[in-house]
């Protein structure tokens, strides 16, 4: 109702009814309007709108426009689920024009948030950040706290994708600050913000911070689905292990098993099993990890989701490598060889990953000149992917003529040549490799 909106805006601005009335109206008149006992005339509504700093349209009903905006928002969500992002964006641009006509900043903020999220999916970071920051400028706590939490969380994700570590942390912290204004029924947004912040810390191996954020999110278990609770608990176990709290991590295995058993949807359970299998690999519980990952692979293969199946076999390959189980590796490799060449691009990535693991296995167990011979057939099929390993092997053997090809390969693929350090760690000490690498661009020796 108009009266309710006038009262809300007046109180947000800290104005009294007398101040809104001014000399043109009376306090009693404003009181009656706010209680819904009077409908303000056109002139009276204009006076009230000016006092409150809003356009007259702001206090209009706008029922038809708001319904159409809702339809457009649902349409954009449907387009987004089908990855028709251009169509989703077009729907939202139309919705934004209608929202601006209503004069309601809260409505415009919701649409701007949706636009920013779509643009982020399209990879348009600058445009996404512009729309999201505009959205945030239209909000003020404690009103619209849910939109504020989602907006700042999305800005944090955008900053992360842009490589702005400090900006990411600052936006996540603002999301946490906004979440303090959420009501009891809105705490699901806080749980999501904490989980997303935890994922960022997890990805950057900030295990203690990730653990704290995940456990804080789990405090709102009533707002979380069983799937989300299970996935968060699995990540908590990984954080415990990586943080050196081994006994606690191992003790939590029984809890995770129970939670997995409680997931009714077999596909949902399969995804959770894959996550848990990867954590068990880290915990060196190899047999249990293999059981979960193998069951997951069967379910995902039956679902026909080739991309997810490829990701599952990647996890199985790494498990086989970590456990030094050639039989597991052979099983996974046979499945990879049966995949048609035109399958999802993820399978090509997994195939390269399998070759790379096989190369590192050979490096650990065979003379380097044998490994170089083994690399020849792989170089024919994937020359750029495996030329790097070949040149690294030659560098460690002491062939200085391999240094410049190695450097050129890394530059050609757009990488940092100094990443060769990380790739070569299984082969030689960092200092030994640095002494072989060329000088840095400023002329200093790399070892200096």
Mean pLDDT by 10 residues, the chain (448 residues): 79 89 90 81 86 78 75 89 91 90 83 94 94 92 85 94 92 92 82 92 92 93 88 95 93 94 93 95 94 95 89 93 90 84 79 74 62 50 53 59 58 46 42 42 39
| Distance separating alpha carbons of residues 146 and 142, to the nearest angstrom | 10
What is residue 153's DSSP assignment?
Answer: H
Q: What is the total residue count of the chain?
A: 448
pLDDT at position 414 is: 43
Report the chain's terminal Cα–Cα distance, integer Å.
73
DSSP for 256-296? Answer: HHHHHHT---HHHHHHHHHHHHHHHHHTT-HHHHHHHHHHH
| Distance separating alpha carbons of residues 49 and 379, to the nearest angstrom | 73
10 Å Cβ neighbour count for 46? 15
Cis ω on the peptide bond leading into residue 73 (within 30° of 0)?
no
Cβ-in-10-Å burial (0-12, 13-18, 19+) of 16 comes to exposed
pLDDT at position 391 is: 60
At 310, is the secondary structure helix, strand, or coil? helix
Contact at 8 Å (CB) between 437 and 409? no
DSSP for 350-398? Answer: HHHHHHHHHHHHHHHHS-HHHHHHHHHHHHHHSHHHHHHHHHHHHHHTT
Rg (the chain; Cα; Å):
29
pLDDT at position 370 is: 56
């Amino acid at each position: 109702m108009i009266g309710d909106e006038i009262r809300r805006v007046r109180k947000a601005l800290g104005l009294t009814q007398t101040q809104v009335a001014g000399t043109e109206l009376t306090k009693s008149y404003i009181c009656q309007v706010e209680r819904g006992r009077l409908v303000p005339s056109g002139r009276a509504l204009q006076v009230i709108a000016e006092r409150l700093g809003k356009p007259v349209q702001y206090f209009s009903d706008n029922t038809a426009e708001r319904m159409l905006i809702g339809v457009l928002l649902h349409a954009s969500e449907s387009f987004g689920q089908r990855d028709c992002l251009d169509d989703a964006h077009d729907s939202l641009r139309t919705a934004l024009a209608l929202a601006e006509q209503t004069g309601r900043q809260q409505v415009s903020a919701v649409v701007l948030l949706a636009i920013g999220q779509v643009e982020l999916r399209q990879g348009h970071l600058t445009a996404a950040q512009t729309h999201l920051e505009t959205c945030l400028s239209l909000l003020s706590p404690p009103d619209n706290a849910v939109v504020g939490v989602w907006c700042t969380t999305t800005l944090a994700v955008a900053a992360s994708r842009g490589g702005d570590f400090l900006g990411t942390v600052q936006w996540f912290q603002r999301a946490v600050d906004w979440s303090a204004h959420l009501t009891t029924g809105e705490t699901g947004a806080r749980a999501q913000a904490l989980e997303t912040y935890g994922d960022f810390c997890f990805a950057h191996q900030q295990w203690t911070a990730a653990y704290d954020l995940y456990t804080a999110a789990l405090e709102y278990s009533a707002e979380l689905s069983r799937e989300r609770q299970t996935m968060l608990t699995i990540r908590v176990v990984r954080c415990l292990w990586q943080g050196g709290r081994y006994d606690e991590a191992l003790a939590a295995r029984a809890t995770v098993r129970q939670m997995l058993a409680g997931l009714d949807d077999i596909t949902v359970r399969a995804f959770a099993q894959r996550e848990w299998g990867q954590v068990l690999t880290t915990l060196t519980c190899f047999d249990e990890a293999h059981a979960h990952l193998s069951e997951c692979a069967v379910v995902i293969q039956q679902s026909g989701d080739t991309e997810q199946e490829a990701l599952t076999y990647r996890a199985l390959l790494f498990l086989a490598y970590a456990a030094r189980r050639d039989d597991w590796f052979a099983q996974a490799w046979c499945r990879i060889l049966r995949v048609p060449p035109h399958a999802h691009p993820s399978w090509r990535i997994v195939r390269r990953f399998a070759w790379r693991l096989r190369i590192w296995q050979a490096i650990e167990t065979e003379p380097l000149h044998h490994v170089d011979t083994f690399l020849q057939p792989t170089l024919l099929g994937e020359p750029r992917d495996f030329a790097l390993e070949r040149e690294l092997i030659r560098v460690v053997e002491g062939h200085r003529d391999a240094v410049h090809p190695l450097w050129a390969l890394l530059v050609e693929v757009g990488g940092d040549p100094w990443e060769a350090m990380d790739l070569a760690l299984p082969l030689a000490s960092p200092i030994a490799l640095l002494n072989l690498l060329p000088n840095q661009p400023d002329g200093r020796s790399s070892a200096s």
